[in-house]
């Protein structure tokens, strides 16, 4: 059985669908002010179908604070949803249409009131058929239902048959169930504040499991997790976890969150946890037979998070050169997997072009401060020490100087003379790059050629 609730004037702030959810989880929103619910299985809660209709009408009259609509609703109960819609729309109060007796209730309705949209018939076609029916002298639903089916089919086609079944209240269809908007946010208030990470991991695990189940149910994934922790000292600890690719594996999320929490622990005990994610379409990737193996995205994210915990976030990533001539100017960018093959490089590979032989350079960070003996401005003896390395020896050959300057208008400008030197120490020759700062006239060893 189906019950239709019809409200002619619905207050703007109220939702008829939300009201209908109070009686059944299976709700179809036909249009604004009209909703149909499936009442099968509601007997234990509300009694018979008539009692349910009575309950709906009574509750609709109640105020908003009491869960009502503050208006009078027409309620009709019928064996099929379309008959219930017609009855509720055109008859006030509570109407009960017995199964098989639809025409007793709907038979006197004029055919102009036939809601053709319920049968999926276009307005132009429906208007044409209804005009034809009036020309034939068919005035009511009962008259239309009484026409022979074969004749209607011959003259009006399948559309005419659909409309005739609609008038007779004998249509069969499923409800177009309105799904409540999915919420991808979970929160939990804790009875006792948590100050350690291990018990917090169970809370994270539970919330993430529910969140990923919701994502899975809607065939979605996420590339951003936002965690908000309410702390005991009345402050909030917020963390945002951005992922390069959409994922929905709660185990991976849990490990990432725990690693992040270890790196950025909250300042006080946690009293409430809230996790929100941004739903996006999952990543669909077609792997090729000839594409080189690459780390699995979720494993790579975990590895990067563990590496970040080990050596610091600023020390992992891909190097990116900066648009400047400043020595050793680079930045670290987030390492992401390249899914699209670089066509230019592939063409280069196909052509068999080999990499250019280039002199390797090992840069000392920071440069070693050096004591240099010079003859006519050229270094002849170099000594430099630090905790990790020492550079000293006699200069047996050199090239230079090459002067580089830049950013002279800024405080951090540089100006220096560079030399490539070969040092000899215990019969072993090593190549270094040394430079002299023009401003301070201090010597430094920048690195060695290898």
Partner 1 sequence: MKAAFSKAELEAEIASRFGDAFRIHEKAAVETLSSGVAEIDALTGGLPRGAITEIFGPASSGRTSLMYSLLTYATGHEETCALVDTNDVFAPTAAIAAGMNFDRLLWVRCGGNLEHAFKAADLLLHAGGFGLVMLDLGDVPGKEARQIISSWWYRFRRTVEDRPTVLTVISEEACTRSCAALALELNGAAEWSRVSVKRGIGNLLRHNAIRVNRQRPVTRRVSEGRYSAMALSV
Q: Does 216 bind partner 1 (CB under 8 A)?
A: no
> Which residue of 364, 435, 443, 444 would you call a contact of partner 1, by CB under 8 A?
364
The least CB distance from residue 311 to partner 1, in Å, is 5
> Which residue of 355, 375, 427, 441 would you call a contact of partner 1, by CB under 8 A?
355
Q: Which two tokens stand for residue 125?
A: 């076609």
Question: CA quadruple 194, 196, 202, 204: dihedral positive or negative?
Answer: positive
The least CB distance from residue 393 to partner 1, in Å, is 11
> Which residue of 217, 360, 376, 410 would you call a contact of partner 1, by CB under 8 A?
360
Q: Which C-beta is closer to partner 1: that of 141 or that of 419?
A: 419
CB neighbours of residue 253 within 10 Å: 26
Q: Does 342 bind partner 1 (CB under 8 A)?
A: yes
**Residues 196, 73: Cα–Cα separation, whole Å:** 55
**Residues 39, 47: Cα–Cα separation, whole Å:** 10
Q: Using CB under 8 A, which residues numbered 309 to 328 contact partner 1?
A: 310-311, 315-321, 327-328
The least CB distance from residue 159 to partner 1, in Å, is 59
DSSP secondary structure of 44-108: HHH-SHHHHHHHHHHHHHS-GGGT--SS--EEEEESSHHHHHHHHHHS-SEEE--TT-HHHHHTT
Across 153-174, b (16+ Cβ under 10 Å) vs e yields eeebeebbebbbbbbbbbbeee
The least CB distance from residue 307 to partner 1, in Å, is 6
Query: In the stretch 375-404, what mask flags binding to partner 1 with x, by CB under 8 A?
Result: -------------xx-------x-x--x--
The least CB distance from residue 119 to partner 1, in Å, is 56
**Residues 356, 343: Cα–Cα separation, whole Å:** 19
The least CB distance from residue 434 to partner 1, in Å, is 13
Phi then psi for 261, rounded to 5 degrees?
-65, -30
Q: Does 237 bind partner 1 (CB under 8 A)?
A: no
The least CB distance from residue 313 to partner 1, in Å, is 11
Q: Which C-beta is closer to partner 1: that of 64 or that of 318?
A: 318
Q: Which C-beta is closer to partner 1: that of 177 or that of 399?
A: 399
Specify the residue for token string 């969140």. 211
The least CB distance from residue 426 to partner 1, in Å, is 11
**Residues 177, 30: Cα–Cα separation, whole Å:** 10
**Residues 78, 96: Cα–Cα separation, whole Å:** 6
Q: Which C-beta is closer to partner 1: that of 332 or that of 371?
A: 332
The least CB distance from residue 403 to partner 1, in Å, is 11
Q: Which two tokens stand for residue 365?
A: 């960070």
Number of residues that bind partner 1 (CB under 8 A): 63
Is it true that the peptide bond before 401 is cis, omega within 30 degrees of 0? yes
Q: Which two tokens stand for residue 271?
A: 């009293």
Which residue stretch of 154-162, 232-240, 270-278, 350-358 sits at the interface with partner 1 (rule: CB under 8 A)? 350-358
The least CB distance from residue 289 to partner 1, in Å, is 14
Q: Using CB under 8 A, which residues numbered 179 to 198 contact partner 1?
A: none
DSSP 210: H
Beta pairing partners, 327: none
Decide: 267 and 235 in contact? Cβ < 8 Å.
yes
Q: Does 46 bind partner 1 (CB under 8 A)?
A: no
Could you give the strand order of the β-sheet that contains 2-6, starting from the edge strand earlier in sequence? 27-31, 34-38, 2-6, 74-78, 94-96
Q: Which C-beta is closer to partner 1: that of 197 or that of 431?
A: 431
Q: Using CB under 8 A, which residues numbered 284 to 313 contact partner 1?
A: 291-296, 299-300, 302-304, 306-307, 310-311
The least CB distance from residue 366 to partner 1, in Å, is 10
Interhelix angle 197-217/250-263, rounded to 10 degrees, is 140
Tell me the pairing of strands 94-96 and 185-194: unpaired
Q: Does 351 bind partner 1 (CB under 8 A)?
A: no
Q: Does 343 bind partner 1 (CB under 8 A)?
A: no
Q: Which C-beta is closer to partner 1: that of 238 or that of 397?
A: 397
Give Cα 61 to chain centroid, integer Å: 41
The least CB distance from residue 291 to partner 1, in Å, is 7
Instruction: Tell me if residue 216 falls in helix, strand or coil.
Output: helix
Beta pairing partners, 108: none
> Which residue of 192, 354, 375, 410 would you call a contact of partner 1, by CB under 8 A?
354
Q: Which C-beta is closer to partner 1: that of 12 or that of 285?
A: 285
CB neighbours of residue 395 within 10 Å: 21
Q: Which two tokens stand for residue 412?
A: 């951090």
- Site residues, partner 1 (CB under 8 A): 291-296, 299-300, 302-304, 306-307, 310-311, 315-321, 327-330, 332, 335, 337-338, 341-342, 345-346, 348-349, 354-365, 388-389, 397, 399, 402, 420, 422, 428-431, 447-450
């Amino acid at each position: 059985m189906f019950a239709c609730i019809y409200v002619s004037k619905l207050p703007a702030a109220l939702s008829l669908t939300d009201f209908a959810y109070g009686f059944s989880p299976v709700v179809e929103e036909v249009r604004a002010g009209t909703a149909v619910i499936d009442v099968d299985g509601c007997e234990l809660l509300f009694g018979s179908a008539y009692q349910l209709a009575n309950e709906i009408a009574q509750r609709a009259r109640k105020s908003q604070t009491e869960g009502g609509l503050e208006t009078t609703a027409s309620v009709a109960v019928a064996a099929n949803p379309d008959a219930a819609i017609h009855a509720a729309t055109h008859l006030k109060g509570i109407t009960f249409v017995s199964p098989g007796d639809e025409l007793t209730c709907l038979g006197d309705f004029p055919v102009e009131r036939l809601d053709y949209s319920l049968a999926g018939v276009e307005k132009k076609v429906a208007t044409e058929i209804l005009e034809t029916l009036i020309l034939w002298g068919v005035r009511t639903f009962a008259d239309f239902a009484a026409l022979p089916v074969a004749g209607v089919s011959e003259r009006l086609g399948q559309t005419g048959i659909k409309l005739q079944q609609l008038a007779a209240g004998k249509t069969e269809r499923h409800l177009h169930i309105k799904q409540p908007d999915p919420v991808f946010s979970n929160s939990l208030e804790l009875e006792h504040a948590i100050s350690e990470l291990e018990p917090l991991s169970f809370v994270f695990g539970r919330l993430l499991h529910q969140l990923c189940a919701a994502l899975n149910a809607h065939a979605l994934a996420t590339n951003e997790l936002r965690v908000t922790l309410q702390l005991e000292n009345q402050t909030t600890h917020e963390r945002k976890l951005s992922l390069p690719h959409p994922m929905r594996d709660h185990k991976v999320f849990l490990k990432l969150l725990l690693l992040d929490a270890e790196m950025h622990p909250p300042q006080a005990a946690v009293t409430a946890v809230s996790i929100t994610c941004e739903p996006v379409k999952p990543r669909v990737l077609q792997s090729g037979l000839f594409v080189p193996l690459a780390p699995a995205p979720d494993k790579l994210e975990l590895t990067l998070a563990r590496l970040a915990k080990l050596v610091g976030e600023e020390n992992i990533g891909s190097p990116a050169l900066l648009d400047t001539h400043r020595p050793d100017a680079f930045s670290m960018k987030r390492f992401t997997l390249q899914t699209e093959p670089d066509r230019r490089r592939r063409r280069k590979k196909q052509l068999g072009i080999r990499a250019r032989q280039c002199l390797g350079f090992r840069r000392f960070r920071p440069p070693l401060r050096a004591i240099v003996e010079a003859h006519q401005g050229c270094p002849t003896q170099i000594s430099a020490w630090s905790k990790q390395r020492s550079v000293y020896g006699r200069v047996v050959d050199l090239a230079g100087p090459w002067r580089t300057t830049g950013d002279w208008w800024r405080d951090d400008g540089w100006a220096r003379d560079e030399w490539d030197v070969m040092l000899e120490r215990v019969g072993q020759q090593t190549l270094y790059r040394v430079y002299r700062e023009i401003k301070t006239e201090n010597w430094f060893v920048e690195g060695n050629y290898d």
